[in-house]
Chain A
Amino acid sequence: MTSARVYVVDDDASVAKALQRVLRSAGIDAVVCASARACLEAYDPSVPGCVVVDLAMPGMGGLDLQSFLRCRRDAPPVVFISGHAALTDNAHAAAGDAVVFLPKPVEAHVLIDAVNDAVARDRAARNPA
C-alpha cells in the first residue's frame, strides 16, 4: 500500500507546524503549505491523501482551494478547520456534503480520525472495488 500524503495548509506557520506534528505522531506523512497557492503547486495527484486547510486565509481561502482542486482529476478530500462557527455553517453549504469541518482548536484524535477517514475515502475513490 503506497503511503498517503496529507497537505496541511495554513498561513499561520506555527498552527500548521503543530498540526503536522499531530499527524506525524500518528505516523501520517504531512506536508506544510503556507498558502493555498503553495498547496496547488506542491500537490501531487498521483499520491493518495487529503488536504487539511484553514478556511480563512488572506488571498485565496480554503473554499477557493477546494474549487481549484475539484477542477483537477483525482481531487483529494478536503478537511476544513475553522475558528468561526458561523463561517463554518456558510462554508458547509458552499462546500457540499463530501467534506469534513473541524473546529479550531482541534483535538488530536479527532483530526487523526478525520484524516485517516479522508485518506481511506481517497484510496477508495482511486481504486474502486
Chain B
Amino acid sequence: MLAQKMLRTLRPRVPGWRVSRRRNIALESLIIPVVWSLGAGACFALAFVYLMAWFKAVGERETLAFFALASSLGLMTLIEMFILLAPTPEVAGRIVRWAAIPVLMVFISLVAFLHLYFGSRRLWLGYLAIGLRLAATVANFAADLNLYHLNISHLREISVFGARAHVPVGESNPWMWLGRLSSLAMVLFAIDAALAGWRRGGAVNRRRAVLIGGSLVAWITVAAGQAILVTSGIVRFTFLFALPGFFVMLAIAFELGADTVRALHVTTRLRLSEAALRHSAEQLGQERSFLRRMIDTIPGLIFVKDREGRYTLANTPVAELYGVPVEQVTGRTDAELLPQPQELDRFRNDDIAVMDSRTERVIAEEAVTDADGRTRWYRTHKVPIIGPDGSCDQVLGSSIDITARKKAESELEQQRKELVHLSRVSMVSNLSGSLTHELNQPLAAILSNAQAALRFLAREKPDLDELRRILEDIVEDDRRAGDVIRSLRVMLRRSEVRRDAFDLNALVREVIQLVRGDLLNLGLEVSLDLVPGLPVVHADRVQLQQVLLNLVINACEAMADTEPHHRHMSVSTARIDARNLKIVVSDRGPGIDANDLERVFEPFYTTKPQGLGLGLSMCRRIVAAHGGSLQASHQAGGGASFTVVLPDGFGAGATAP
C-alpha cells in the first residue's frame, strides 16, 4: 500500500512514466518488479557489504556465511518475482523447477550461519535439513515438472498490494513432503541454535537468540506454511518467502553489523595497539640496551641477586672482578665465582638481612678478593627489591671501589707515623744540650770516683770499704747514664704504636729529668704537684713522653725573655672524674692571645724563628688518638697553661695519630 501511494505521488512529477516499450501498462503492474527487484538488490548489497567486511578486516566465518545467505536470498527473490510474473503455466512451472537451487543455497548457508553464529549443539539437525533439502532438490529435478507440481493446469490470479500476479495451480507432486520435512528440520535446528545462543547468557546474547532465532523460525515456518497455502489455493496471496526473508536479513544484518562494527573497531584498535606494542617493544629494547650500556659504563659494581644468591643482573665491572665474561655471571652464585669462605658468608648474610628486614644497608668498607687474588675494597649499598606482590626475594647492590682511597689512607697513616717520629727526633736534637748535661753528670762522677779510687789504691794501706763504696757509686752512675741513653734510643726508635700500662707521675718525673739541663741553664724553677695513687694509664708511653716533653720545652722557651726570678714552671697531675686524668703544664711566659688559643694547634703555626710549627698539632693528634684532649688556656697570673686530658685504663681505642 505504501509503495502504491508513493508511486501515485510520483506520477504527476514524472510525466514520461506512463510511456513504456509496452503499450499502456498500468502503473500497478510495476509494483511487483520494482518491489521484488529492490528486495533482491538490497539482499545483494547486504551480501556485498559483508563480503567486503569479511575481506577487509574481520575474517570471521559467520560474516562469510551471512554473505552466502543474503546472496542466496537475493537470487531467490528474483526467481520468486519471475514466478509471480510468469505469463504461462509452462513458464511458471519451469521457473519453480529452477527455484530449487537458490532454496538449497539458502538452506546450506542458513545452517552454516546458525551454527557459526550460535554454536548449535545438534549440528546433525542442520545436516538433516540440508540432506532432506538435497533429496528434495534431486526429486525436483527428477520430476517432469518440479517438486511441487505434477502438472500445472492454470495460473491463478492473485492480488499483491493491488497489483495483479499469478501463482501456478495444478496437481501436487507426492515428493513434496521431502521439502516440507527439510523445512521442519530447519525450524528445529534454528530453535536449537537459538537456545544454544540463549544459554550463553547475557542480555545481548539472549536478545540475539530471540531476535535472530525467533525471526528465522517464524520466517521458515511462515514461508513453508504460506507456500502450502498458496499452492493449494487456500490463500490468494503471494508466497511469503522473499519479502519476509528480506526483513529477517535486515534483522540479522543489524545484529551482525553491530558485531562487525565492534569487531572492526576491535581489529583497528588491535592493529593500532599492535603497532604501539611493536613500537614500545622497540623502544623498550632500545631503553634496555641503553640502560645496559649505562650500568656497564659505571665503574662501580651493580648487581641483583635472588634469595638463592644467584646473580640476576651484573654489570661489566662485576664480571671483571670475578674474571669471567659478563654473560657468565648471571645465574651463578658468589660461591661459584669466588672461593673465599669468609667473604662469601659476609655477602650472604648481608643479602639475606636486607631481604628479610626490607631495609637498605650500607657496608662502609668491605674487602673482596678479585680473580687475581688481590684484595679490593668496596663501599657497598644494598637495597631490597620488593615485588608487585609485596614479597622481597631480590637485593640490588651497588659498590664503589675505594681501594685507591684505602691505599691513600694507609699511606697517609704511615706518613703521619713517620712525621710523629721525625718530630720526636727533631725534639731530641733540640734537647741535645739537656741530654749532654744528663750524660755528663754521671760520666763526671764516674771519672772522679775512678781517679779517686786509683789514688786510694796507690796508698800503702788502701781503705777497702771506701773502695767498695766508690765502685758501688760507679755502678750506680753508669746505670744512670745507661738510662739516659736508653730513653734517648726509645725516642729515636721508629717504633710502632703500642700500649703500655704506666704511672703518669713517673712519666712526668722522667721528662723533667730529661730537660733538667735546659732548666738549669735557664735558671728555671719547676714545681711538681703530682697527686699520688693515680690509676695507671694505658697508652703509648713514648708518644705521651713526646707530648709532655713538647709542652715542657715550649714552656721553657716561652720564658726565655721572662725575668730570671719569675721563671717558674709547674707541672701537675690530677684526677678529673671517675674516668679521666689530667696533666697541666703552666708557665709564666707572655701567655697566648685569646684569639690564638686554638690557632696554636694548627699545623705550621709558630712564633719561633726556627720552628716548623708542627709540635702542638702533633701533640693534639697524639692525645686525640688516645681518646683524650689537649687545650690551651690563659693563666690568671699571666702565662700559658696546657691541659692534657686522658682517659684512664682502656679509654677509646688508641690508633696511630
Interface-side segment among B47-55, B183-191, B376-384, B438-446? B438-446
Task: Verify if B523 is at the interface (C-beta below 8 Å from A).
Answer: yes
Q: Are A17 and B520 in contact (CB under 8 A)?
A: no
* Chain B proximity mask over A80-108: 1 for CB below 8 Å, otherwise 0: 00011001000000000000000011111
In the assembled complex, the Cα of A108 lies from the Cα of B444 at a distance in Å of 11
Q: How many residues of B contact A (CB 8 A)?
A: 33
Closest chain-A Cβ to B395's Cβ sits at a distance in Å of: 72
Closest chain B residue to A17, Cβ basis = B473
CB neighbours (8 Å) of A24 from chain B are 452
Quick one: CB contact mask for B454-475 with A, threshold 8 Å, 1 for yes?
1110000000001000100100
Q: Is the CB of A107 within 8 A of B451?
A: yes
In the bound complex, do residue A15 and residue B445 qualify as a contact, i.e. CB atoms below 8 Å apart?
Answer: yes
**0/1 interface trace, chain A 11-27, chain B, CB 8 Å (1 if under):** 01011011101101110
B523–A61 contact, CB under 8 A?
A: yes
> Given that A14-B476, A21-B470 are contacting pairs, would A108 and B441 also be in contact in the complex, using a CB cutoff of 8 Å?
no
Give the one of B445, B447, B449 with max A CB within 10 A. Answer: B445
Distance in angstroms from B464 CB to nearest chain A CB is 14
Judge whether A57 is part of the interface by a CB distance below 8 angstroms. yes
A73 CB → nearest B CB, Å: 27
| B525 sits at the interface (CB 8 A) | yes
Cβ-based interface call for A4 (8 A): no
> B638 an interface residue at 8 Å Cβ cutoff?
no
Q: Given A17-B473, A56-B521, are A26 and B448 also a contact pair (CB < 8 Å)? A: no
CB pair A108 B455 closer than 8 Å: yes
Point out the residue from A26, A57, A84, A104 that lies within 8 Å of B455, measured CB to CB: A26
A128 CB–B CB distance under 8 Å = no
Q: Are A25 and B455 in contact (CB under 8 A)?
A: yes
Contact B521 A18 (CB under 8 A): no
Q: Is residue B477 within 8 Å, beta carbon to beta carbon, of the partner chain?
A: yes
Residues of chain B with a CB closer than 8 A to A84's CB: 433, 437, 521
Bound CA–CA A59/B522 (angstroms):
10
Contact of A105 with B433 at beta-carbon distance under 8 Å, contacts A14-B473, A14-B477, A18-B473 already known: no
Instruction: Tell me whether A14 and B445 are in contact in the complex, defined as CB-CB below 8 angstroms, given that A21-B470, A57-B520, A59-B525 are known contacts.
Output: yes
| Residue ID in chain B nearest A104 by CB atoms | B444
Pair A19/B441 contact, Cβ less than 8 Å? no
CB atoms of B445 and A18 under 8 A apart:
yes
Asked if B256 is at the interface of the complex by the 8 Å CB criterion, the answer is: no
Bits for B429-441, please: 1 = Cβ < 8 Å to A, else 0.
0000100110011
Instruction: Flag whether B548 is at the interface (Cβ < 8 A).
Output: no
- How far does the Cβ of B456 sit from chain A's closest Cβ, in whole Å? 6
By a beta-carbon cutoff of 8 Å, the part of chain B in contact with chain A is: 433, 436-437, 440-449, 451-456, 466, 470, 473, 476-477, 480, 517, 519-521, 523-526
A→B interface (CB under 8 Å): 12, 14-15, 17-19, 21-22, 24-26, 56-59, 61, 83-84, 87, 104-108, 111
